[in-house]
Amino acid sequence: MDITVTGRHVEVTPAIRDYAAKKLEHVGIDFPRILSAHFILEVEKFRHIAELVLQCGNHITIEAREISEDLYVSIDRVVDKVARRMRKYKTKLQNHRPRDFDTIHVDEQVLTHDLHEDEGKHRIVRTERFAIKPMFVDEAVLQMELSENHQFLVFLNAETEKVNVLYRRKSGDFGLIQPTLA
């Protein structure tokens, strides 16, 4: 497993790097499909923030973030949170139960906005590029449940072979945008 430790406003000492790697060793025993781990450690006044992003097999990304008054406590908590999420994921895979699709709310509405109306007021300030991964809708929902930071997920639907967008609704449910020809 490739472990990277990055510091924002904090120097990453060898002791901190070793501590983070040692904490992840225990997680790697139960879940050998971890490909890489990235710790992002940040200090803002009295807040010590630890973020952990795990890249696992089957295109699964697990993210967690914890804040405390001690950096080592934040590392402990974020690793524990990721371990809980991985156990939840592993249990779901072992059950081999099809997901209850009634909990996924599919929005049929197409929202349009006349760009000429607001011409010059809005502009693109950031562009992101990422690989679209083929997966089933229930796998996409599971991916969203494992990631607390992402509000949407763009994926290639393995059933329809079309690009879909899964997004988190305010109610906690998910919406699914499926492309259709007008």
CA 72 to chain centre: 23
Write out pLDDT tens, residues 10-59: 899 999 999 998 988 877 666 667 888 899 999 998 899 999 998 887 77
Q: Are 74 and 42 in contact (CB under 8 A)?
A: no
H or E element: which one contains 4?
strand 2-8
Residues, the chain: 182
CATH of the domain at 121: 3.30.505.50
* 106 falls within a domain: yes
| DSSP state at residue 102 | G
Write out pLDDT tens, residues 57-66: 777 788 899 9
* Residue that is written with structure tokens 């492309």 in the block: 179
* Domain that includes residue 147, residue range: 101-177
**Residue 106 sits in the same domain as residue 91:** no
Domain end, chosen from 61, 95, 129, is at 95
**Residue 75 sits in the same domain as residue 147:** no
To the nearest whole percent, how much of the chain has pLDDT over 70?
80
Q: Calculate ∠ Cα 57-59-61, nearest 5°.
A: 90
